[in-house]
Amino acid sequence: MKRVRLCISIENNEELIEKEINGIQNKDSITYDDEETKTKIKILNKVIKITRKNKEYSIELNFKEKSKTLCKYLIYKDNINIELDLYTSIIEKKENIMYIEYELYDKKEKVGEYKFKILVRED
């Protein structure tokens, strides 16, 4: 386990969000707190799993290149479960950089197209 500095960018058709955050890196995962939201990125052989949780919601995204997977979104207040189809077009993993391009669909209708990039630097 080591402390790292994360440079994160998330881009969709409407906006670009860039942040620098402190995190913890283990052999196959990265965890960090983004304001009130706890985020864990689990890096497996051919799948990357991102879980984000706070007081209001929990979301689980499973990325597998050139594949359709399920995105589970739970809103606690009204106990609403939303399942979206997630299509991952690109996953690039290098020593300290991870890049994912993906699209989210609700009942075959595209609801968003995203580019996620994370750069890991030793703290």
Q: What does the pLDDT read at residue 46?
A: 87
| Long-range Cβ contact pairs of 13-20 (< 8 A, separation 24 or more) | 13/112, 13/113
**107 — alpha (psi -120 to 50), left (phi > 0) or beta?**
left
pLDDT in tens, 40-80: 999 988 899 999 999 999 999 999 999 999 999 999 999 99
Contact, 53 vs 37, CB < 8 A? yes
What was the pLDDT predicted at 45? 84
Task: Name the residue ranges covered by the structural domains of the chain.
Answer: 2-122
- Residue 105 has a pLDDT of 97
Homologous superfamily, domain 2-122: Calycin beta-barrel core domain (2.40.128.20)
Give me the residues paired with residue 74 across strands.
58, 81
pLDDT tens, 86-112? 999 999 998 899 999 999 999 999 999
Q: What is the pTM of this model?
A: 0.92
